[in-house]
Amino acid sequence: MSLVVFAAGNPSRGDDALGPLLMADLEALALPDVHLVSDFQLQIEHALDLDGQDLALFIDAGTGTPAPFVFSEILAATGQASNSHALAPEAVLQVYADIRGRAPPPAFLLCVRGAEFELGADLSAAARENLSAARAHLLRCLACADATSWRSKASNDPLKARGVLSAVWRIR
């Protein structure tokens, strides 16, 4: 099974470093068949990274996310802006569906709760605890990286998650 992992965040903005910190953990593992994509924010071009993948994972920090994290399946979302320089994961999936004319691979979001996102701030104590819990969950998911297994580990269904997690994404 091939997996693409997107991590978004700015390490210079306090808890926004949660995504890049989890990405650094993944880079150290050097997992086969795992394509890693890290950026400050998701963009239209990231839809192309979904080509040839069986599964996708988006990792980021969120301010309104229940602590310590939310892990949920997400779906492509019509009606989301796809002409911006910063997109929600559902919008990236929709761009893929629009340009390829087929459904994107099953996709999940690991959104870790952050509290302090100020420029130059360090990772908050709460974010460190949430990072530890998210890291453990991520390793459990990677032990069996397939959509069926991940659905059993997801915190809610994709239709309910769509509105909640999109709102979280926009808040930050």
* Per-residue pLDDT reduced to its tens digit, 46-71: 999 999 999 999 999 999 899 999 99
Euclidean distance between CA atoms 155 and 72, whole angstroms: 6
Residue closest to 108 by CA, chosen among 37, 69, 159, 158: 158
pLDDT in tens, 3-42: 999 999 999 999 999 999 999 999 999 999 999 999 999 9
Residue closest to 52 by CA, chosen among 7, 87, 100, 90: 100
Residue closest to 86 by CA, chosen among 40, 52, 49, 122: 40
Q: For domain 3-171, which architecture applies?
A: 3-Layer(aba) Sandwich (3.40)
For the entire predicted model, the pTM comes to 0.88
Domain coordinates in residue numbering, the chain: 3-171
